A = this chain, B = another copy of it.
Amino acid sequence: MKKNRSNEIEIVVIDDEQDVLELIEYILAKEGYKATGFLSTDYVEQFLEEENPAFLIVDRNLPGMEGSQFVSHLRSKGYELPVIFLTAKDGDKDILDGFEAGGDDYMTKPFKPQELVARIKALLKRSGIIQYNKLRYRDMVLDCQKQELNVDNSQVSLTNLEFKLLTTFIKNSHQTLSRDFLRDEVWEDDGSFNDKTINVALNRLKKKIDPLDRKHYFTPVWGVGYKLS
């Protein structure tokens, strides 16, 4: 029901061989994905419903329900998450069956880990799950598409102005930003402009992203402006 709180992309892997499962989980973990393995299709649907993972990697020879049948079933239920088949079944007909069932890609075992990762990435990109407009500073991650900020893996909601302000600072993290610069860049100077507007805006931002003032993201530069620290 709810998306993962953290920024991690969650991938479900279904394979009946424990060691293959572990290998894949290891590969995915190394790439920064959160992998959840299943030895059969049992409970997977329930898991999808509850956790809403981003991606599915599925073998075809599974106990109980065959992999492509399972995917077909999911599709008929309206699940549209990207699916890669990863299986020893490598006949021409098998591959076509996989796509017919609603798979997005089909890889045969044995497989190259790097190719699996590349294909996953391509699909995540194509499905719009990966976004590139991300900015990072210390433990902050800004998602420019969603206008969202994560600080230390918990979401902080920012207003447009605050977002623009923070973006400007992170894009220029190496230098002190003068009030003049900020006025030009963030506010698009409408002439009349109160001295304190910038101060107030910045302090509101500070309070939102670090309410307890423990992290001191911003340092005032006396008589000039502010810089990230």
Q: Name A's B-contacting residues (CB within 8 A).
A: 1, 75-80, 82, 92, 95-96, 99-100, 103-105, 112, 114-115, 118-119, 121-123, 126-129, 131-132, 134-136, 138, 141-142, 145-147, 159-160, 172, 174-176, 221-224, 227
Contact = CB atoms under 8 A, between A and B. Distances in A.
Contact of A115 (B95, B112, B114, B147): B95
Q: Which 10 pairs from chain A and chain B are nearest by CB?
A: A78-B136, A99-B118, A78-B134, A78-B141, A160-B223, A145-B175, A146-B176, A104-B122, A126-B126, A99-B122
30 contacts: A75-B134, A76-B134, A77-B136, A78-B134, A78-B136, A78-B142, A80-B132, A92-B112, A92-B114, A95-B118, A96-B114, A99-B118, A99-B122, A100-B118, A103-B122, A104-B123, A104-B126, A105-B119, A105-B122, A126-B126, A126-B127, A128-B175, A145-B175, A145-B176, A146-B175, A147-B221, A147-B224, A159-B222, A159-B223, A160-B222
A175 B131 contact: yes
A92 B77 contact: no
Nearest to A175: B145
A119 to B, nearest CB: 7
Given A78-B136, A92-B112, A114-B92, A174 B129 contact: yes
A139 to B, nearest CB: 9
